[in-house]
């Protein structure tokens, strides 16, 4: 029998409760989860309108594009820093000094580029989600305009000409990416 704590005002009349057992909250964990809970197999929506749209929410979009921008910027930045670190090594350096220089340059370049790419992803996601809400349509026009606006907004501090050039590059890049994605979907079954 397990230990039963007794209250401080214990008297002899409470002895008939000695055959009690303690509650074990883990006793049902040996049962499969399917018998405990009826879990849904499809997504649940608060409103019926949400189930009709086959699109990520603005929050998911924001997280996705920011993360993709940050991660791809980190990979590109570390690669660029690795090349710069190898080129910067001198003939008389020891192996320990070369590795340290390569790591320092890689981390510095990676940090710079991934932060920039993350901000670009954040701007793009916000603008695209706002365009979808304003136009009430999800098509290639939203993506291209969001790319244009993201490039222009990102380089707005550098002047009007730089903002226009980078905005055009952003719009063209997004247009090519969306068109390429649609072509891949059409001809390559996934």
Residues 26-35 have a mean pLDDT of 65
Distance CA(109)–CA(77), nearest Å, equals 5
Distance CA(140)–CA(174), nearest Å, equals 9
pLDDT-derived band at 50, boundaries 50, 70, 90: low
Residues 4-27 have a mean pLDDT of 61
Residues 70-97 have a mean pLDDT of 89
For the chain, give every domain's residue range.
55-136, 139-190
pLDDT-derived band at 128, boundaries 50, 70, 90: very high
Average pLDDT score over the chain: 82
Residues 32-53 have a mean pLDDT of 68
Write down the pLDDT at residue 35.
Answer: 59
**Percent of the chain whose predicted confidence (pLDDT) is above 70:** 79
CB-based contacts of 82, cutoff 8 Å, min separation 6:
102, 105, 106
- Judge whether residue 9 has pLDDT over 60: no
- Judge whether residue 94 has pLDDT over 50: yes
CB-based contacts of 116, cutoff 8 Å, min separation 6:
73
CA 35 to chain centre: 34
For residue 36, count CB atoms less than 10 angstroms from its CB and return exposed for 0-12, middle for 13-18, buried for 19 or more. exposed
Residues 179-189 have a mean pLDDT of 87
Count H helices and E strands in the chain, helices first: 6, 0
For residue 66, count CB atoms less than 10 angstroms from its CB and return exposed for 0-12, middle for 13-18, buried for 19 or more. buried
- Whole-prediction pTM: 0.66
- Within 13 A of 164's CA, how many CA atoms are on the CB side? 3
pLDDT-derived band at 1, boundaries 50, 70, 90: very low
pLDDT-derived band at 37, boundaries 50, 70, 90: low
Q: Which residue would you say has higher pLDDT here, 28 or 152?
A: 152
Residues 12-29 have a mean pLDDT of 65
Query: Which of 23-32, 42-51, 68-77 tops mean pLDDT?
Result: 68-77
- Judge whether residue 86 has pLDDT over 60: yes
């Amino acid at each position: 029998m397990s230990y039963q704590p007794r209250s401080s005002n214990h008297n002899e009349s409470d002895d008939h409760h000695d055959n009690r057992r303690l509650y074990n909250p883990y006793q049902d964990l040996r049962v499969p989860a399917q018998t405990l809970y009826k879990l849904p197999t499809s997504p649940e929506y608060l409103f019926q309108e949400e189930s009709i749209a086959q699109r990520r929410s603005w929050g998911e979009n924001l997280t996705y594009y920011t993360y993709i921008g940050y991660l791809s910027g980190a990979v590109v930045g570390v690669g660029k820093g690795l090349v710069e670190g190898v080129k910067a090594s001198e003939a008389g350096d020891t192996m320990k000094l070369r590795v340290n220089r390569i790591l320092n340059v890689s981390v510095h370049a990676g940090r710079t580029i991934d932060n920039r790419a993350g901000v670009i992803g954040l701007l793009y996601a916000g603008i695209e989600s706002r365009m979808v809400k304003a136009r009430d349509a999800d098509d290639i026009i939203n993506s291209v305009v969001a790319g244009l606006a993201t490039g222009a907004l990102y380089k707005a501090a550098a002047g009007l000409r730089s903002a226009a050039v980078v905005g055009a590059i952003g719009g063209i890049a997004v247009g090519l990416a969306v068109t390429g994605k649609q072509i891949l979907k059409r001809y390559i079954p996934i």
